Amino acid sequence: MTTPSSLTALTQDQLKTLVGQAALQYITPGSIVGVGTGSTVNKFIDALASIKGDIRAAVSSSVASTERLQAIGITVLDANDVESVAVYVDGADEIDGQGHMVKGGGAALTREKIVAALAQRFICIADGSKRVEVLGRFPLPVEVIPMAAQQIVRRFAAQGGAAVLRCKDGQPLVTDNGQHILDVTGLAITDPLAFESDVSQWPGVVTVGVFAHQKASVCLLGTAQGVQTLVY
């Protein structure tokens, strides 16, 4: 039996493993599964290997997840070849009390939102540190067309936000879609639906990392007390 003291001692990595395994209960045999991106999702993919014979295929939100799924023998379908997926399992950088999320820390926000829009249910898997009252403390990722980057920086500055171009190895990070990412700090996103709708219309914005229109149906939250299930 696991005691409260031993649960408290679990590392963040162990909590991610717990929620990754817990997500298996939402997988229907014979279904197509939407699979997200990131360190927590990697734990879900590891767990998925144990039931890979029970699922038809997966739709992946990133090149990295596709490679990981294929390595364990799961067929990955193109999103254009699928009308819907029963569930989409993905992590979050932040999630509020209504299931609205900030995502994109792993730079896959556009493809994540595309797959999320195909899903009948979004199952968010995260450790307890990701639960917040108001979105915005985590730097908000916004995927942009490079020629519009500085214009979008100025628009966020007018709202009190500070947007910085994400770099890798000293160069602007290039997403799977060939675009750049701005990370925006200084925001308090009190109306995620309105915020997402507004920023999505700015010229040059590919995807804003607020997931309010494609919010979570369920969040499996790894805490010191074990996996907490939040239903929205």
To the query of whether residue 112 is one of the catalytic residues in this protein, the response is yes
Please list, in sequence order, all residues whose beta carbon lies within 8 angstroms of the beta carbon of residue 49, skipping any fewer than 6 positions away: 72, 73, 74
CA distance 187 to 106: 20
Question: Which of 112, 133, 143, 196 is the catalytic position?
Answer: 112
Strand ranges (DSSP E) for the chain?
A: 32-35, 57-60, 76-77, 85-90, 94-95, 101-102, 119-127, 140-144, 162-165, 167-168, 171-172, 180-185, 205-208, 210-211, 218-223, 226-231
Provide φ and ψ at 143, rounded to 5°: -80, 130
181: β partners: 143
Token digits of residue 160: 């009190």
Contact present, 175 and 144 (Cβ < 8 Å): no
Residue ranges in the chain assigned as alpha helix (H): 4-8, 12-22, 39-48, 63-71, 109-118, 149-158, 192-200
Which residues are known to be catalytic? 112
